[in-house]
């Protein structure tokens, strides 16, 4: 036996609101993933994983040194030609 719906409220409204909230949460997670990927927040962790996988005995440089060398490499150099 099912419970009667509360007066003035539709039982479908609850499902619709939960679906909307779930969609909003999914969109927020996607936006956060995009922003952190765009800014490079996970690059150092990927670098450490790559180094451990491909060069198991090599010690990774510090995070500070990693970011410094990464930004130094991306600076355009003056060229004569």
Structural domain boundaries of the chain?
12-39, 42-73
SS (H, E, C) the chain: CCCCCCCCCCHHHHHHHHHHHHHHHHHHHHHHHHHHHHHCCCHHHHHHHHHHHHCCCCCCCCHHHHHHHHHHHHCCCCCCC
4 pLDDT higher than 60: no
What is the mean predicted confidence (pLDDT) over 61-78?
Answer: 78
Given a contact cutoff of 8 angstroms between Cβ atoms, the answer to whether 47 and 66 are in contact is: yes
Q: What's the pLDDT at 62?
A: 93
Residue range 8-51, pLDDT digits in tens: 655 666 888 888 999 999 999 999 989 888 888 888 999 999 99
């Amino acid at each position: 036996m099912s419970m009667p719906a509360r007066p003035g409220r539709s039982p479908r409204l609850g499902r619709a609101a939960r679906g909307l909230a779930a969609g909003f949460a999914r969109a927020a997670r996607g936006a956060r993933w995009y922003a952190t990927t765009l800014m490079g927040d996970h690059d150092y962790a990927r670098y450490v994983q790559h180094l451990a996988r491909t060069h198991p005995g090599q010690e990774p440089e510090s995070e500070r040194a990693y970011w410094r060398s990464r930004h130094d490499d991306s600076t355009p150099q003056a060229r004569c030609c």
